[in-house]
Amino acid sequence: MTSDAYNELEKHFQRIANLESAKAILHWDSATKMPVGGAMARIEQLATLDGVIHSLITDPDIGELIDKAKGKDIDSWSTRNLELMEQRWQRASAVPAGLVEAYTRACVSCEACWRYARDRNDYSVLVPLLTEVVTLTRERACALSDALDLMPYDALLDEHDPGCRVKELDKLFSELQNFLPSLTNEAMSRQEKQEKPRHERARFPVKYQQRVAKLLMLQLGLEDNHSRLDVSHHPFSGGVPDDVRITTRYNEDNMAQGLLGVLHETGHALYERGLPKDWRGQPVGEAHGMAVHESQSLLIEMQVSRSQPFLTFLTTKLQSLFGDADFLQGVQDLSCLWTWVEPGLIRVDADEVTYPSHIILRYELERQLIDGHLDPIDLPEAWSVGMGKYLGIVPLDDRDGCMQDIHWYTGEFGYFPSYTVGAVAAAQFFAAATGQMPQMDENIECGDFSLLLSWLRCNIHSCGSRYSRDQLLRRATGRELETFDFERHLRKRYLD
Protein backbone atom coordinates (compact mmCIF):
# COMPACT_ATOMS: atom_id res chain seq x y z
CA MET A 1 0.00 0.00 0.00
CA THR A 2 1.67 3.22 -1.13
CA SER A 3 1.24 6.55 0.62
CA ASP A 4 -0.78 9.44 -0.81
CA ALA A 5 2.40 11.54 -0.89
CA TYR A 6 4.25 8.91 -2.91
CA ASN A 7 1.32 8.52 -5.35
CA GLU A 8 1.29 12.27 -5.89
CA LEU A 9 5.03 12.21 -6.61
CA GLU A 10 4.59 9.46 -9.21
CA LYS A 11 1.94 11.52 -11.02
CA HIS A 12 4.16 14.59 -10.90
CA PHE A 13 7.21 12.80 -12.32
CA GLN A 14 5.07 11.19 -15.02
CA ARG A 15 4.16 14.69 -16.23
CA ILE A 16 7.85 15.61 -16.22
CA ALA A 17 8.68 12.45 -18.21
CA ASN A 18 6.05 13.31 -20.82
CA LEU A 19 7.60 16.73 -21.37
CA GLU A 20 11.09 15.21 -21.56
CA SER A 21 9.79 12.75 -24.16
CA ALA A 22 8.51 15.63 -26.29
CA LYS A 23 11.89 17.34 -25.91
CA ALA A 24 13.67 14.18 -27.09
CA ILE A 25 11.63 14.06 -30.30
CA LEU A 26 12.29 17.77 -30.94
CA HIS A 27 16.04 17.13 -30.58
CA TRP A 28 15.80 14.23 -33.03
CA ASP A 29 13.92 16.40 -35.50
CA SER A 30 16.56 19.14 -35.18
CA ALA A 31 19.26 16.71 -36.29
CA THR A 32 17.34 14.94 -39.06
CA LYS A 33 14.35 16.72 -40.61
CA MET A 34 14.23 20.34 -39.46
CA PRO A 35 15.04 22.95 -42.15
CA VAL A 36 17.96 25.23 -41.34
CA GLY A 37 15.60 28.18 -41.07
CA GLY A 38 13.78 26.58 -38.15
CA ALA A 39 16.78 26.75 -35.81
CA MET A 40 15.84 29.94 -33.95
CA ALA A 41 12.28 28.78 -33.33
CA ARG A 42 13.58 25.43 -32.10
CA ILE A 43 15.99 27.18 -29.71
CA GLU A 44 13.07 28.97 -28.05
CA GLN A 45 10.91 25.83 -27.96
CA LEU A 46 13.60 23.79 -26.21
CA ALA A 47 14.55 26.60 -23.84
CA THR A 48 10.91 26.99 -22.84
CA LEU A 49 10.49 23.26 -22.34
CA ASP A 50 13.62 23.09 -20.20
CA GLY A 51 12.32 25.99 -18.14
CA VAL A 52 8.96 24.30 -17.58
CA ILE A 53 10.60 20.97 -16.71
CA HIS A 54 12.96 22.70 -14.30
CA SER A 55 10.07 24.49 -12.60
CA LEU A 56 8.19 21.21 -12.19
CA ILE A 57 11.17 19.39 -10.70
CA THR A 58 11.98 22.26 -8.32
CA ASP A 59 8.37 22.81 -7.23
CA PRO A 60 8.56 23.66 -3.50
CA ASP A 61 5.91 21.03 -2.77
CA ILE A 62 8.21 18.24 -4.06
CA GLY A 63 10.56 18.41 -1.08
CA GLU A 64 7.63 18.27 1.33
CA LEU A 65 6.06 15.32 -0.48
CA ILE A 66 9.40 13.45 -0.46
CA ASP A 67 9.70 13.96 3.30
CA LYS A 68 6.14 12.70 3.83
CA ALA A 69 6.72 9.61 1.66
CA LYS A 70 9.91 8.57 3.46
CA GLY A 71 9.53 5.72 5.88
CA LYS A 72 6.14 4.69 4.53
CA ASP A 73 5.30 1.11 3.62
CA ILE A 74 6.42 0.99 -0.03
CA ASP A 75 8.11 -1.81 -1.97
CA SER A 76 11.79 -1.91 -2.96
CA TRP A 77 11.22 -0.50 -6.48
CA SER A 78 9.21 2.40 -5.07
CA THR A 79 11.83 3.00 -2.38
CA ARG A 80 14.53 3.28 -5.04
CA ASN A 81 12.23 5.47 -7.16
CA LEU A 82 11.76 7.84 -4.21
CA GLU A 83 15.52 7.99 -3.70
CA LEU A 84 16.06 8.92 -7.37
CA MET A 85 13.26 11.51 -7.22
CA GLU A 86 15.03 13.18 -4.32
CA GLN A 87 18.35 13.14 -6.17
CA ARG A 88 16.77 14.78 -9.22
CA TRP A 89 15.04 17.38 -7.05
CA GLN A 90 18.27 18.22 -5.22
CA ARG A 91 20.25 18.48 -8.46
CA ALA A 92 17.65 20.62 -10.23
CA SER A 93 17.16 22.88 -7.20
CA ALA A 94 20.87 23.66 -7.20
CA VAL A 95 20.71 25.42 -10.60
CA PRO A 96 18.75 28.69 -10.99
CA ALA A 97 15.97 28.66 -13.58
CA GLY A 98 17.54 31.54 -15.50
CA LEU A 99 20.79 29.61 -15.87
CA VAL A 100 18.89 26.53 -17.10
CA GLU A 101 17.24 28.47 -19.94
CA ALA A 102 20.41 30.42 -20.80
CA TYR A 103 22.38 27.15 -20.93
CA THR A 104 19.81 25.50 -23.21
CA ARG A 105 19.77 28.47 -25.60
CA ALA A 106 23.55 28.53 -25.72
CA CYS A 107 23.81 24.79 -26.38
CA VAL A 108 21.15 24.67 -29.11
CA SER A 109 22.67 27.74 -30.81
CA CYS A 110 26.16 26.27 -30.63
CA GLU A 111 24.98 22.92 -32.02
CA ALA A 112 23.36 24.63 -35.02
CA CYS A 113 26.56 26.60 -35.64
CA TRP A 114 28.64 23.43 -35.28
CA ARG A 115 26.80 21.85 -38.23
CA TYR A 116 27.53 24.94 -40.33
CA ALA A 117 31.14 25.30 -39.15
CA ARG A 118 31.99 21.63 -39.53
CA ASP A 119 30.74 21.53 -43.11
CA ARG A 120 32.94 24.54 -43.91
CA ASN A 121 35.89 23.52 -41.72
CA ASP A 122 35.74 26.90 -39.96
CA TYR A 123 36.36 26.59 -36.23
CA SER A 124 36.72 30.37 -35.81
CA VAL A 125 32.96 30.99 -36.11
CA LEU A 126 32.37 28.48 -33.29
CA VAL A 127 34.75 30.02 -30.77
CA PRO A 128 32.40 32.67 -29.28
CA LEU A 129 29.49 30.22 -29.05
CA LEU A 130 31.58 27.43 -27.53
CA THR A 131 33.08 29.93 -25.11
CA GLU A 132 29.58 30.81 -23.92
CA VAL A 133 28.67 27.12 -23.55
CA VAL A 134 31.84 26.45 -21.54
CA THR A 135 31.23 29.50 -19.33
CA LEU A 136 27.64 28.46 -18.57
CA THR A 137 28.71 24.84 -18.05
CA ARG A 138 31.23 26.01 -15.47
CA GLU A 139 28.47 27.98 -13.71
CA ARG A 140 26.23 24.90 -13.68
CA ALA A 141 29.10 22.71 -12.46
CA CYS A 142 29.91 25.12 -9.61
CA ALA A 143 26.25 25.32 -8.56
CA LEU A 144 26.01 21.52 -8.54
CA SER A 145 29.35 21.26 -6.78
CA ASP A 146 28.16 23.41 -3.88
CA ALA A 147 24.86 21.55 -3.52
CA LEU A 148 26.23 18.01 -3.88
CA ASP A 149 29.60 18.48 -2.16
CA LEU A 150 31.48 17.38 -5.27
CA MET A 151 34.29 18.86 -7.32
CA PRO A 152 32.80 20.74 -10.32
CA TYR A 153 33.96 18.25 -12.94
CA ASP A 154 32.85 15.32 -10.73
CA ALA A 155 29.40 16.92 -10.63
CA LEU A 156 29.30 16.83 -14.46
CA LEU A 157 30.52 13.21 -14.54
CA ASP A 158 27.78 12.30 -12.09
CA GLU A 159 25.12 13.63 -14.49
CA HIS A 160 26.14 11.09 -17.13
CA ASP A 161 27.41 8.18 -15.04
CA PRO A 162 25.99 8.43 -11.50
CA GLY A 163 28.70 7.78 -8.93
CA CYS A 164 31.59 8.23 -11.39
CA ARG A 165 34.48 10.31 -10.09
CA VAL A 166 37.82 11.60 -11.40
CA LYS A 167 39.64 9.36 -8.91
CA GLU A 168 38.05 6.23 -10.42
CA LEU A 169 38.68 7.36 -14.01
CA ASP A 170 42.32 8.23 -13.37
CA LYS A 171 42.86 4.71 -11.99
CA LEU A 172 40.96 3.04 -14.85
CA PHE A 173 42.71 5.03 -17.58
CA SER A 174 46.10 4.42 -15.97
CA GLU A 175 45.46 0.65 -16.02
CA LEU A 176 44.47 0.83 -19.69
CA GLN A 177 47.55 2.85 -20.59
CA ASN A 178 49.69 0.17 -18.91
CA PHE A 179 48.82 -2.39 -21.60
CA LEU A 180 47.17 -0.67 -24.57
CA PRO A 181 50.27 0.92 -26.21
CA SER A 182 52.22 -2.35 -26.27
CA LEU A 183 49.13 -4.33 -27.30
CA THR A 184 48.51 -1.88 -30.14
CA ASN A 185 52.10 -2.16 -31.38
CA GLU A 186 52.04 -5.95 -31.21
CA ALA A 187 48.73 -6.15 -33.06
CA MET A 188 50.02 -3.83 -35.78
CA SER A 189 53.24 -5.87 -36.09
CA ARG A 190 51.21 -9.02 -36.66
CA GLN A 191 49.29 -7.25 -39.43
CA GLU A 192 52.46 -6.46 -41.35
CA LYS A 193 52.29 -9.87 -43.03
CA GLN A 194 48.76 -9.14 -44.28
CA GLU A 195 47.65 -6.92 -47.10
CA LYS A 196 45.97 -3.85 -45.67
CA PRO A 197 42.24 -4.00 -46.43
CA ARG A 198 41.10 -1.37 -48.89
CA HIS A 199 37.71 0.17 -48.23
CA GLU A 200 37.23 0.94 -51.90
CA ARG A 201 37.23 -2.79 -52.68
CA ALA A 202 34.07 -2.95 -50.61
CA ARG A 203 32.48 0.11 -52.22
CA PHE A 204 28.86 -0.32 -51.29
CA PRO A 205 26.04 1.86 -52.74
CA VAL A 206 24.11 3.71 -50.03
CA LYS A 207 20.73 2.30 -51.07
CA TYR A 208 22.02 -1.22 -50.40
CA GLN A 209 23.69 -0.20 -47.13
CA GLN A 210 20.34 1.17 -45.97
CA ARG A 211 18.67 -2.12 -46.79
CA VAL A 212 21.29 -4.11 -44.86
CA ALA A 213 21.19 -1.67 -41.94
CA LYS A 214 17.42 -2.09 -41.58
CA LEU A 215 17.74 -5.85 -41.81
CA LEU A 216 20.41 -5.92 -39.07
CA MET A 217 18.27 -3.80 -36.75
CA LEU A 218 15.39 -6.23 -37.09
CA GLN A 219 17.63 -9.30 -36.85
CA LEU A 220 19.06 -8.05 -33.56
CA GLY A 221 15.55 -7.71 -32.14
CA LEU A 222 14.58 -4.05 -32.63
CA GLU A 223 10.93 -3.99 -33.68
CA ASP A 224 10.07 -2.06 -36.82
CA ASN A 225 6.86 -0.61 -35.33
CA HIS A 226 8.74 0.99 -32.42
CA SER A 227 11.79 2.42 -34.21
CA ARG A 228 13.09 4.63 -37.03
CA LEU A 229 16.42 4.79 -38.85
CA ASP A 230 17.47 8.11 -40.36
CA VAL A 231 20.59 10.00 -41.48
CA SER A 232 22.33 12.74 -39.48
CA HIS A 233 25.72 14.46 -39.29
CA HIS A 234 26.59 12.45 -36.19
CA PRO A 235 25.11 9.00 -35.40
CA PHE A 236 22.92 9.00 -32.30
CA SER A 237 20.04 7.25 -30.57
CA GLY A 238 17.11 9.22 -29.18
CA GLY A 239 13.37 9.23 -28.77
CA VAL A 240 11.60 7.30 -26.02
CA PRO A 241 11.27 3.57 -25.17
CA ASP A 242 8.15 3.06 -27.30
CA ASP A 243 9.44 5.27 -30.13
CA VAL A 244 13.22 4.94 -30.48
CA ARG A 245 14.99 6.99 -33.15
CA ILE A 246 18.45 6.02 -34.38
CA THR A 247 20.59 7.66 -37.01
CA THR A 248 23.79 6.97 -38.89
CA ARG A 249 25.81 8.43 -41.77
CA TYR A 250 26.75 6.47 -44.89
CA ASN A 251 29.91 6.42 -46.97
CA GLU A 252 29.93 4.42 -50.20
CA ASP A 253 33.70 4.00 -49.96
CA ASN A 254 33.54 2.71 -46.39
CA MET A 255 30.57 0.50 -45.62
CA ALA A 256 31.89 -0.07 -42.08
CA GLN A 257 31.16 3.54 -41.15
CA GLY A 258 27.42 3.38 -41.72
CA LEU A 259 26.75 -0.21 -40.68
CA LEU A 260 28.81 -0.12 -37.50
CA GLY A 261 27.07 3.14 -36.63
CA VAL A 262 23.71 1.43 -36.98
CA LEU A 263 24.85 -1.57 -34.92
CA HIS A 264 26.13 0.74 -32.17
CA GLU A 265 22.92 2.77 -32.04
CA THR A 266 20.79 -0.38 -32.18
CA GLY A 267 22.47 -1.47 -28.95
CA HIS A 268 21.30 1.77 -27.35
CA ALA A 269 17.79 1.34 -28.77
CA LEU A 270 17.47 -2.26 -27.55
CA TYR A 271 18.32 -1.08 -24.03
CA GLU A 272 15.59 1.58 -24.19
CA ARG A 273 13.07 -0.92 -25.53
CA GLY A 274 13.89 -3.35 -22.72
CA LEU A 275 13.44 -0.93 -19.82
CA PRO A 276 10.77 -2.03 -17.29
CA LYS A 277 7.33 -1.21 -18.74
CA ASP A 278 5.69 -1.00 -15.32
CA TRP A 279 7.97 1.91 -14.43
CA ARG A 280 7.77 4.00 -17.61
CA GLY A 281 7.74 7.67 -16.77
CA GLN A 282 9.48 7.17 -13.41
CA PRO A 283 13.16 7.77 -12.57
CA VAL A 284 13.65 4.13 -11.57
CA GLY A 285 12.36 3.02 -14.96
CA GLU A 286 14.99 4.98 -16.89
CA ALA A 287 18.34 3.71 -18.14
CA HIS A 288 21.08 3.87 -15.55
CA GLY A 289 23.41 6.53 -16.91
CA MET A 290 25.46 6.68 -20.06
CA ALA A 291 28.23 4.29 -19.02
CA VAL A 292 25.71 1.46 -18.79
CA HIS A 293 24.04 2.77 -21.96
CA GLU A 294 27.35 2.74 -23.82
CA SER A 295 28.09 -0.74 -22.50
CA GLN A 296 24.98 -1.92 -24.36
CA SER A 297 25.85 -0.20 -27.64
CA LEU A 298 29.50 -1.26 -27.49
CA LEU A 299 28.58 -4.81 -26.57
CA ILE A 300 26.69 -5.02 -29.87
CA GLU A 301 29.15 -3.01 -31.97
CA MET A 302 32.48 -4.26 -30.58
CA GLN A 303 31.97 -7.54 -28.72
CA VAL A 304 29.40 -9.04 -31.10
CA SER A 305 29.63 -7.33 -34.50
CA ARG A 306 33.41 -7.56 -34.92
CA SER A 307 33.48 -11.20 -33.84
CA GLN A 308 34.18 -13.95 -36.37
CA PRO A 309 30.77 -15.62 -35.86
CA PHE A 310 28.97 -12.36 -36.64
CA LEU A 311 31.16 -11.62 -39.66
CA THR A 312 30.46 -15.11 -40.99
CA PHE A 313 26.74 -14.47 -40.58
CA LEU A 314 26.96 -11.03 -42.22
CA THR A 315 29.01 -12.28 -45.18
CA THR A 316 26.55 -15.10 -45.79
CA LYS A 317 23.62 -12.70 -45.52
CA LEU A 318 25.13 -10.20 -47.98
CA GLN A 319 25.82 -12.94 -50.50
CA SER A 320 22.28 -14.29 -50.17
CA LEU A 321 20.82 -10.80 -50.61
CA PHE A 322 22.95 -9.54 -53.49
CA GLY A 323 24.41 -12.63 -55.15
CA ASP A 324 27.23 -11.79 -57.55
CA ALA A 325 26.77 -8.02 -57.52
CA ASP A 326 29.97 -6.14 -58.37
CA PHE A 327 29.96 -4.28 -55.07
CA LEU A 328 30.38 -7.56 -53.16
CA GLN A 329 33.91 -8.09 -54.49
CA GLY A 330 35.30 -6.81 -51.19
CA VAL A 331 33.08 -8.83 -48.86
CA GLN A 332 35.91 -11.28 -48.25
CA ASP A 333 37.77 -8.33 -46.68
CA LEU A 334 35.06 -7.70 -44.07
CA SER A 335 36.79 -9.58 -41.28
CA CYS A 336 40.04 -7.77 -41.91
CA LEU A 337 38.32 -4.41 -42.36
CA TRP A 338 36.40 -4.60 -39.09
CA THR A 339 39.31 -5.91 -37.02
CA TRP A 340 42.19 -3.90 -38.50
CA VAL A 341 44.17 -2.05 -35.82
CA GLU A 342 45.58 1.32 -36.84
CA PRO A 343 45.55 4.75 -35.16
CA GLY A 344 43.19 7.08 -36.98
CA LEU A 345 41.88 10.63 -36.68
CA ILE A 346 38.18 9.87 -36.20
CA ARG A 347 36.86 8.48 -32.91
CA VAL A 348 33.67 6.90 -34.26
CA ASP A 349 35.68 5.02 -36.91
CA ALA A 350 38.38 3.83 -34.48
CA ASP A 351 39.14 0.18 -33.88
CA GLU A 352 38.47 -1.07 -30.37
CA VAL A 353 42.17 -1.21 -29.43
CA THR A 354 42.93 2.45 -30.14
CA TYR A 355 39.47 3.78 -29.22
CA PRO A 356 40.24 4.33 -25.50
CA SER A 357 43.09 6.67 -26.45
CA HIS A 358 40.57 8.93 -28.20
CA ILE A 359 38.53 9.05 -25.01
CA ILE A 360 41.49 9.68 -22.71
CA LEU A 361 42.45 12.67 -24.88
CA ARG A 362 38.94 14.13 -24.69
CA TYR A 363 38.78 13.48 -20.94
CA GLU A 364 41.95 15.48 -20.38
CA LEU A 365 40.89 18.35 -22.65
CA GLU A 366 37.41 18.76 -21.24
CA ARG A 367 38.73 18.75 -17.69
CA GLN A 368 41.05 21.58 -18.68
CA LEU A 369 38.18 23.48 -20.31
CA ILE A 370 35.99 23.16 -17.22
CA ASP A 371 38.83 23.89 -14.79
CA GLY A 372 39.71 27.03 -16.75
CA HIS A 373 43.17 25.81 -17.77
CA LEU A 374 42.28 25.72 -21.48
CA ASP A 375 40.53 28.45 -23.44
CA PRO A 376 38.25 27.33 -26.32
CA ILE A 377 40.29 29.43 -28.79
CA ASP A 378 43.32 27.24 -28.01
CA LEU A 379 41.46 23.95 -28.36
CA PRO A 380 42.68 23.07 -31.91
CA GLU A 381 46.34 23.32 -30.89
CA ALA A 382 45.79 21.35 -27.67
CA TRP A 383 43.91 18.73 -29.70
CA SER A 384 46.79 18.30 -32.14
CA VAL A 385 49.32 17.96 -29.33
CA GLY A 386 47.16 15.36 -27.59
CA MET A 387 46.59 13.37 -30.79
CA GLY A 388 50.33 13.25 -31.33
CA LYS A 389 50.87 12.09 -27.76
CA TYR A 390 48.22 9.35 -27.64
CA LEU A 391 47.83 8.23 -31.25
CA GLY A 392 50.96 9.43 -33.03
CA ILE A 393 49.05 11.36 -35.70
CA VAL A 394 47.93 14.96 -36.14
CA PRO A 395 44.80 16.19 -37.99
CA LEU A 396 45.27 18.33 -41.06
CA ASP A 397 42.17 20.39 -40.29
CA ASP A 398 39.72 21.09 -37.47
CA ARG A 399 36.89 19.18 -39.16
CA ASP A 400 38.77 15.96 -38.43
CA GLY A 401 40.13 17.42 -35.21
CA CYS A 402 38.30 19.21 -32.44
CA MET A 403 35.09 19.67 -34.50
CA GLN A 404 34.52 15.99 -35.27
CA ASP A 405 32.30 15.29 -32.22
CA ILE A 406 29.07 17.05 -31.35
CA HIS A 407 29.29 16.60 -27.56
CA TRP A 408 31.00 19.79 -26.36
CA TYR A 409 28.99 21.94 -28.73
CA THR A 410 25.78 20.69 -27.10
CA GLY A 411 27.17 21.13 -23.59
CA GLU A 412 27.77 17.42 -22.97
CA PHE A 413 30.84 17.78 -20.76
CA GLY A 414 31.53 14.70 -18.64
CA TYR A 415 30.00 12.34 -21.23
CA PHE A 416 33.10 11.09 -23.07
CA PRO A 417 34.51 8.89 -20.24
CA SER A 418 31.28 6.86 -20.39
CA TYR A 419 32.40 5.39 -23.72
CA THR A 420 35.48 3.70 -22.28
CA VAL A 421 33.84 2.83 -18.96
CA GLY A 422 31.11 1.34 -21.17
CA ALA A 423 33.62 -0.59 -23.32
CA VAL A 424 35.22 -2.13 -20.24
CA ALA A 425 31.79 -2.99 -18.80
CA ALA A 426 30.68 -4.42 -22.17
CA ALA A 427 33.57 -6.89 -22.17
CA GLN A 428 32.69 -7.88 -18.62
CA PHE A 429 28.99 -8.34 -19.43
CA PHE A 430 29.69 -10.32 -22.62
CA ALA A 431 32.22 -12.56 -20.88
CA ALA A 432 29.59 -13.38 -18.26
CA ALA A 433 26.91 -14.03 -20.88
CA THR A 434 29.07 -16.33 -23.02
CA GLY A 435 30.36 -18.07 -19.90
CA GLN A 436 26.80 -18.91 -18.92
CA MET A 437 25.76 -19.82 -22.48
CA PRO A 438 28.52 -21.72 -24.38
CA GLN A 439 26.30 -21.94 -27.49
CA MET A 440 26.38 -18.16 -27.98
CA ASP A 441 28.92 -18.15 -30.85
CA GLU A 442 27.01 -20.83 -32.74
CA ASN A 443 23.76 -18.87 -32.39
CA ILE A 444 25.36 -15.61 -33.55
CA GLU A 445 26.88 -17.31 -36.59
CA CYS A 446 23.36 -18.44 -37.53
CA GLY A 447 22.01 -14.91 -37.05
CA ASP A 448 20.06 -15.87 -33.93
CA PHE A 449 20.49 -13.13 -31.31
CA SER A 450 17.52 -14.11 -29.16
CA LEU A 451 19.63 -15.86 -26.54
CA LEU A 452 21.88 -12.83 -26.09
CA LEU A 453 18.96 -10.40 -26.04
CA SER A 454 17.16 -12.49 -23.41
CA TRP A 455 20.26 -12.41 -21.20
CA LEU A 456 20.58 -8.64 -21.59
CA ARG A 457 16.88 -8.13 -20.93
CA CYS A 458 17.04 -10.19 -17.73
CA ASN A 459 20.33 -8.93 -16.31
CA ILE A 460 20.49 -5.30 -17.45
CA HIS A 461 17.61 -3.81 -19.43
CA SER A 462 14.73 -4.79 -17.15
CA CYS A 463 16.57 -3.45 -14.11
CA GLY A 464 16.23 0.17 -15.22
CA SER A 465 17.85 2.34 -12.55
CA ARG A 466 17.00 0.09 -9.63
CA TYR A 467 20.71 -0.60 -9.03
CA SER A 468 23.88 1.45 -9.21
CA ARG A 469 26.33 0.74 -12.03
CA ASP A 470 28.60 -1.36 -9.81
CA GLN A 471 25.64 -3.19 -8.26
CA LEU A 472 24.42 -4.03 -11.76
CA LEU A 473 27.86 -5.35 -12.71
CA ARG A 474 28.12 -7.36 -9.52
CA ARG A 475 24.71 -8.94 -10.03
CA ALA A 476 25.39 -9.81 -13.69
CA THR A 477 29.10 -10.72 -13.55
CA GLY A 478 29.98 -11.25 -9.90
CA ARG A 479 32.46 -8.35 -9.91
CA GLU A 480 32.54 -4.56 -9.95
CA LEU A 481 34.13 -2.74 -12.90
CA GLU A 482 37.64 -3.99 -13.74
CA THR A 483 39.82 -4.19 -16.85
CA PHE A 484 40.58 -7.94 -16.74
CA ASP A 485 37.92 -9.09 -19.25
CA PHE A 486 38.58 -6.13 -21.56
CA GLU A 487 42.31 -6.87 -21.77
CA ARG A 488 41.71 -10.62 -22.17
CA HIS A 489 39.18 -9.97 -24.95
CA LEU A 490 41.58 -7.71 -26.88
CA ARG A 491 44.49 -10.15 -26.56
CA LYS A 492 42.37 -13.07 -27.70
CA ARG A 493 40.93 -11.25 -30.73
CA TYR A 494 44.07 -9.46 -31.88
CA LEU A 495 47.07 -11.43 -30.64
CA ASP A 496 46.05 -15.12 -30.41
Residue of 455, 399, 31 lying closest to 232 (CA atoms): 31
The residues that bridge with 227 in the sheet, in sequence order, are 244
Contact 274, 462 (CB under 8 A): yes
Of the residues 86, 101, 265, 272, only one is catalytic, namely 265
The DSSP line for 312-381 is: HHHHHHHHHHHTT-GGGTTGGGHHHHHT-----S-GGG--TTTHHHHHHHHHHHHHHHHHTSS-GGGHHH
Query: How far is the CA of 30 from the CAs of 65, 112, 133, 214, in angstroms?
Result: 36, 9, 19, 22
In degrees and rounded to multiples of 5, residue 231 shows phi and psi of: -110, 140
Residue 60 to residue 323: CA distance in whole angstroms: 65
Contact 266, 246 (CB under 8 A): yes
Residue 260 to residue 264: CA distance in whole angstroms: 6
Is 265 considered catalytic here? yes
Residue 161 to residue 467: CA distance in whole angstroms: 13
Q: How many CB atoms lie within 10 A of CB 441?
A: 15
**Which residues carry out catalysis?**
265
